[in-house]
Amino acid sequence: MVGKHKGVRMTGRPGRTGRGGSQAGAGDLLELVRHGRAVTRGALQEATGLSRATVGQRLDRLFRAGWLREGAGGPVGSPLGGRPSVTLEFDDSHAVVLAADLDTRHARAAVLSLTGEILAEHTGPLVVEDGPEAVLGELGRWLAELPAEAGHRAAEVCGIGLAVPGPVDRETGRVVQPPIMPGWDGYDIRSRLSRAFTEHTGVPAVPVLVDNDANLMAYGEQRTGHRDCTAFVLVKVSTGIGAGVVVDGSIYRGVDGGAGDLGHIRVGADALCRCGSYGCLAAVASGGAVARRLAASGVPAASGSDVRDLLAAGHPEAAALAREAGRRVGDVLATVVTLLNPGVLMIAGDLAGTPFLTGVRELLYQRALPRSTAHLEVVTSRLGERAGLIGAGALVVEHLYAPERAEERLAAMGV
């Protein structure tokens, strides 16, 4: 049943939106339908103040572009009275998105539907220290082969999203002084990956969006399982340590992409970090740090993924060190939780198992203010290794179908 949609009206003035006072366009209507805030013609009239004829004209553009379709649920009651209205829904069959999640020693790539379903996937070794030219060239080849595996043409790809293990300048898509990505600082990732995809497919350049891996993991997890959480924090503990923060449904990046860089908070230790400083949290509590301590005691371990395998096998020394690392991270997270007061704190990455989580909880609840943790859920990842892919795909979709960008694309299509 469709009635009055609380919070849908875009302003109190008929036919106006909050975007510079301009009249609601086709992109605004698409936004309302995509997010389920108005899914009939009548509800769109009520939300925007537009006339029935104008709503019809705007919707006609979206139907001709293949972006909207009539829903399978049948007609529903109209909020404006009169005849029942047919529901409208976003048509995710007109294009696909490519996404990739680059780690220090391996990568994962996928083709996704516009609603976030993974249609085909490829995982393999890819060493970030080999440099951006080689890594992105190979990643472009993987991405070029994926659409066909899912029964789609490369020409149906509307965009590519990439998650990288370093801070990213949102405007340029370039990593900024990444501690664990030597040779990548300031590199034009967008152009290289787009060019590599074109070289292997012949498809003209498609837009490429780049963001930090923890940001995109947080975005994917929040949208998939915690949409009602208005303050969401994800901490990824793998080779390094990073955090992604989602506030009111949007990634919080800080002024230049450096938000969430927990791994380089000083914790008073004397261990040398890969960033060149001493005493960083990542130097003593990351998967890489635990691996080094295990190796020093004769246990074969070279990376966070090796520690993950040892934890899965029930290795006692690995479990003890992971719990200790969790306590160190929990001590830092007590400040994070007190500052941000999130509803969900999610632990993800190679160390996101019971020993580490136990250590986090021990120190977090001991050090944080009770008021800050009264309604806090401390959980582990639901999407696992696919979180970054799903977040990267969602980032592309939200960018391409945002109202102003949607209007530009419709005009370019001649619709």
Statement: residue 113 has pLDDT above 90? yes
Q: Are 56 and 41 in contact (CB under 8 A)?
A: yes
Alpha helices in 226-315 (DSSP H): 281-285, 287-296, 304-312
What is the pLDDT, as a whole number, of residue 319?
97
Mean pLDDT taken over the chain? 91
Instruction: Return the residue matching tokens 């290794």.
Output: 385
**Which amino acid is it at 3?**
G
The alpha carbon of 270 is separated from its chain's Cα centroid by a whole number of angstroms, namely 34
Alpha helices in 150-275 (DSSP H): 189-201, 213-225
What is the pLDDT, as a whole number, of residue 2?
34
At 399, is the pLDDT very low, low, confident or very high (cuts 50, 70, 90)? Answer: very high
What's the full length of the chain, in residues?
415
Question: ∠ at Cα 102 (101, 103), nearest 5°?
Answer: 120
C-alpha torsion 276→324→295→302, nearest 10: -60
Statement: residue 322 has pLDDT above 50? yes
3-state secondary structure (DSSP) of residue 236:
strand
Q: Are 140 and 199 in contact (CB under 8 A)?
A: yes
At 187, is the pLDDT very low, low, confident or very high (cuts 50, 70, 90)? Answer: very high
Query: Whole-model pTM?
Result: 0.90
At 3, is the pLDDT very low, low, confident or very high (cuts 50, 70, 90)? Answer: very low
Statement: residue 16 has pLDDT above 70? no
* Mean pLDDT score, 369-385: 95
> Whose CA is closest to 360, among 237, 224, 188, 219?
237
What is the pLDDT, as a whole number, of residue 74?
52
Domains of the chain: 26-90 (1.10.10.10), 96-214+389-413 (3.30.420.40), 216-388 (3.30.420.40)
Give percent of the chain with pLDDT exceeding 70. Answer: 91
Statement: residue 12 has pLDDT above 70? no
Q: Are 26 and 33 in contact (CB under 8 A)?
A: no
At 23, is the pLDDT very low, low, confident or very high (cuts 50, 70, 90)? Answer: confident
Statement: residue 9 has pLDDT above 60? no
What is the pLDDT, as a whole number, of residue 14?
43
Tokens (6 digits) for 34: 């995509």
Beta bridge partners, 90, equal 68
350: Cβ–Cβ under 8 A, 6 or more apart, which residues? Answer: 237, 238, 239, 287, 303, 304, 305, 307, 308
List pLDDT tens digits, range 29-70.
999 999 999 999 999 999 999 999 999 999 999 999 999 999
At 214, is the pLDDT very low, low, confident or very high (cuts 50, 70, 90)? Answer: very high
Tokens (6 digits) for 144: 């070029």
